Amino acid sequence: MIAVLTADLINSTNYSETLMGRVMAVLKEEFSDVKKKYPSSDFSIYRGDSFQGVLQHPEEALTVMLQLKTAILSISTTKKGKSREADLRIAIGIGSLDFQGKTIEESNGQAFQFSGRSLDEMKYEGRKTRLKTPSETINGEFDASLFLLDEITDRWSTASAEVIYFLLKGLKEKEIATELGISQSAVNQRKKAAGWEAVNSLLERYNNIISKSFSE
């Protein structure tokens, strides 16, 4: 079993050339970072505003998805700008890999189909994150959970997203304060405002359920 992430940039036709360039640079940086942590992972950008990624360990997919999402939500092309300028819609498909091609585009299987079809459905439903697996029980549980996650992330400012991004990478509050040039108390406030405890609880639940159900 593998996990496939299929994603596109929301309202990308409205992005300025500067913003699109920054988004593409950030995505490539994050793909490289994920690959360092998970060497067997692979990512590919296509159509200029979409990408797919393959993870051999499905239990890590939600954390990787949030890392990519928070990296994009954190982007600001102006010095004073703290309003969000870019966002991602991401579908996670967990299933079999039926054909391993030389590239992601040449590969196929259940996980690819689940992910790609889910993303297409999401575009018409206003959803930003979704999980599709062979288990309808698991799909039902996480459909509700990820719907709530959408509501939480939609309220994040770029400042909130920055803090969550570094928390996902395992940094402590003091380390994040140093990275962002703010006080530790400010980091703590942003962490609470962003609902980190609830998000982390979802990540732990996802990791536990997917590990037991699909990981070898």
What is the average pLDDT value for the chain, to the nearest integer? 92
Per-residue pLDDT at 84: 86
Per-residue pLDDT at 139: 96
Per-residue pLDDT at 190: 95
Q: pLDDT (tens digit, 9 = 90+) per residue, 55-113?
A: 999 999 999 999 999 999 999 887 654 678 999 999 999 999 877 777 777 678 899 99
Query: Does residue 143 surpass a pLDDT of 90?
Result: yes
**Domain range annotation of the chain:** 2-214
Nearest to 73 by CA among 199, 165, 166: 165
Nearest to 142 by CA among 184, 171, 167, 114: 114
pTM as predicted: 0.93
The span from the first CA to the last CA of the chain, in angstroms, equals 8
Per-residue pLDDT at 99: 73
170-188: average pLDDT = 95
Provide the sign of the torsion angle of the four alpha carbons 92, 128, 137, 134, taken in this order. Answer: negative
Q: Does domain 2-214 have CATH number 3.40.50.970?
A: no
Per-residue pLDDT at 107: 74
